[in-house]
């Protein structure tokens, strides 16, 4: 049955956390201001070849100067929480060494503004904007970056910890490993394929070290935002199920199991990782207070065709034929402007499978991102997308999965990485000429739905 977004949503628990998410590189702009250092994304975009519309994140939505207006939009929307990211190169321009007080001041003002509006600030400490100085030393391929990250986490917690009650270490280490270091679609543009795996391990280690640093500063309520989605085999043939299992291992289990179970899902793969892996896993698997999942879509995976996969996945790029799996198009579902299939019931499937796989090792879950790219201010498709996914989320809760919150990606249209400004994920439209914000139909729909929930 197709859900009808004009019907009220099922009732969520009273203390369920409703929020929206953004990230620094995608909204702030002001890249050269107040002592901010360069990030790997500034440099990647300046190289100019890889962003599809030839754009860059220098201005983005100018949130750095317009944060008061954006916080007012959050207040009117009625969300209880706002997930934003702290730009590491704003706080530590060289990635290590001197702290830039003016950079920290921005987040200090933002947190105060949010609290005054009744919105809980939830910082993500790293959403892909590695300081360029560290990138030049090997970025996440080297262990030192994990250590520098923990030092920076300590500085941020020291400054904001008196007002911030919930923290996120990393955003989607899987995507940065695959797209940034493996395939070169994202900064730093490396194409190392399986040699990108150290970037996964060092991000996970950075997560663990940051959890220690945050706890040492008195922080509680710490999570991570990992991207996950069900992986469906293209057929029951052995070659396809094996390819799908490998994809699931690399995109889901490789990032969930070190954190939740304290081990890598595969011995052979663990053998490829640098460092004292067993000791590192102790650090990586410290108990978390909750587990964040960014969900967008399921992936249909088969064995690679002889000539490599068609341009169906990862932003429509042709995958190198040496990859032992090939994402395929999923027929029979509507698609967003990005081409991603809209499959709300796969969110239920994902959450139930996590509960089955990890049992009591899975802490309470928060959906830290879910959203879609569509044009237009009268965005009925986005309303249908959110409505369908919230119903699917509720179904997972009915099935016994402990979910505590849901965050829409994103508050604003923003810099969509390799796609530039061409994909619009916002509840609020941004005119990139005037930087004017206009709430979309989906913004009003969510505001009304949240009011309805609050009445219950």
* Active-site amino acid positions: 172, 369
Q: Indicate which single residue of 44, 152, 314, 421 sits in contact with ligand GBH (rule: CB under 6 A).
A: 314
Supply the minimum distance, in Å, between the C-beta of residue 303 and ligand GBH: 16
Candidate ranges 63-71, 148-156, 289-297, 390-398; the one touching ligand GBH (CB under 6 A): 289-297
Q: Which pairing describes strands 299-302 and 326-328: parallel, antiparallel, or unpaired?
A: antiparallel
Q: Which pairing describes strands 428-430 and 437-439: parallel, antiparallel, or unpaired?
A: antiparallel
Q: Is 397 in the site for ligand GBH (CB under 6 A)?
A: no
Alpha helices by DSSP H, listed for 226-344, are 238-248, 254-261, 267-270, 277-284
The CA–CA distances, whole Å, from 334 to 2, 113, 302 equal: 12, 39, 21
Q: Indicate which single residue of 113, 135, 172, 379 sits in contact with ligand GBH (rule: CB under 6 A).
A: 172
Contact 252, 228 (CB under 8 A): yes
Look at the block and give the residue holding tokens 């967008």: 296
**What residues have CB less than 8 Å from 317, skipping those under 6 apart?**
183, 185, 311
| Shorter beta-carbon distance to ligand GBH: residue 97 or 334 | 334
Whether 140 has a binding-site annotation, put simply, is no
Contact 150, 212 (CB under 8 A): yes
Q: Indicate which single residue of 41, 88, 181, 340 sits in contact with ligand GBH (rule: CB under 6 A).
A: 340
Whether 88 has a binding-site annotation, put simply, is no
Q: Indicate which single residue of 61, 203, 226, 299 sits in contact with ligand GBH (rule: CB under 6 A).
A: 299
Q: Which of residues 413-432 bind ligand GBH (CB under 6 A)?
A: 416, 425
Whether 144 has a binding-site annotation, put simply, is no
Closest listed residue to residue 39, CA positions, set 49, 54, 29: 29
Q: How far apart are CA 409 and CA 373, in angstroms?
A: 10
- Number of H helices and E strands in the chain, helices first, is 16, 13
Q: Is 368 in the site for ligand GBH (CB under 6 A)?
A: no
Q: Is 23 in the site for ligand GBH (CB under 6 A)?
A: yes
Q: Indicate which single residue of 296, 325, 385, 407 sits in contact with ligand GBH (rule: CB under 6 A).
A: 296
Supply the minimum distance, in Å, between the C-beta of residue 412 and ligand GBH: 11
Q: How far apart are CA 160 and CA 112, in angstroms?
A: 10
Which spans of this chain sit near ligand GBH (rule: CB under 6 A)? 23, 171-172, 175, 227, 294, 296-297, 299, 313-315, 327, 340, 369, 409, 416, 425
List, as residue ranges, the binding site for substrate: 26, 127, 171, 296, 409, 416-417
List, as residue ranges, the binding site: 26, 127, 171, 296, 409, 416-417
């Amino acid at each position: 049955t197709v859900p009808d977004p004009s019907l009220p949503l099922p009732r969520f628990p009273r203390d369920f956390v409703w929020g929206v998410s953004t990230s620094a590189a995608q909204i702030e702009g002001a890249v050269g201001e107040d002592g901010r250092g360069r990030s790997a994304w500034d440099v990647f975009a300046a190289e100019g070849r890889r962003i599809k519309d030839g754009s860059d994140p220098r201005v983005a939505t100018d949130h750095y100067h317009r944060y008061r207006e954006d916080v007012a939009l959050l207040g009117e929307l009625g969300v209880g929480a706002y997930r934003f990211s702290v730009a590491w190169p704003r706080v530590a321009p060289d990635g290590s060494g001197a702290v830039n007080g003016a950079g920290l001041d921005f987040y200090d003002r933002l947190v105060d503004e949010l609290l005054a509006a009744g919105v809980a600030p939830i910082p993500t400490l790293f959403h892909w904007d590695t300081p360029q100085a560290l990138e030049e030393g090997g970025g996440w391929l080297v262990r030192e970056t994990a250590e520098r990250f923990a030092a920076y986490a300590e500085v941020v917690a020291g400054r904001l910890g008196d007002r911030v009650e919930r923290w996120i270490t990393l955003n989607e280490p899987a995507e940065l490993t695959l797209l940034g270091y493996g395939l070169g679609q994202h900064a730093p543009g490396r194409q190392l394929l399986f040699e990108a795996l150290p970037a996964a391990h060092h991000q996970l280690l950075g997560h663990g070290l940051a959890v220690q640093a945050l706890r040492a500063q008195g922080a509680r309520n710490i999570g991570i935002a990992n991207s996950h989605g069900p992986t469906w085999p293209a057929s029951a043939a052995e070659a396809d199920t094996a390819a799908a299992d490998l994809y699931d291992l690399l995109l889901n289990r490789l990032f969930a199991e070190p954190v939740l179970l304290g081990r890598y899902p595969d011995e052979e793969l663990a053998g490829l990782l640098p460092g004292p892996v067993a000791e590192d896993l102790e650090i990586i698997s410290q108990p978390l207070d909750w587990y964040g999942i960014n969900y967008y879509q399921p992936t249909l995976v088969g064995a690679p065709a002889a000539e490599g996969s068609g341009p169906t996945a990862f932003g429509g790029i042709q995958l190198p034929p040496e990859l032992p799996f090939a994402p395929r198009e999923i027929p029979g579902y509507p698609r967003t402007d990005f081409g991603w299939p809209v499959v709300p019931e796969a969110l239920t499937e994902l959450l139930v499978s996590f509960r089955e796989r990890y049992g009591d090792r899975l802490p309470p879950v928060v959906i830290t991102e879910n959203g879609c790219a569509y044009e237009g201010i009268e965005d009925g498709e986005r309303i249908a997308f959110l409505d369908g996914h919230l119903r699917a989320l509720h179904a997972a809760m009915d099935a016994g999965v402990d979910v505590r919150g849901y965050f829409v990606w994103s508050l604003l249209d923003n810099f969509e990485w390799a796609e530039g400004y061409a994909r619009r994920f916002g509840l609020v439209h941004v005119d990139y000429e005037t930087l004017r914000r206009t709430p979309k139909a989906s913004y009003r729909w969510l505001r009304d739905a949240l009011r309805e929930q609050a009445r219950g």
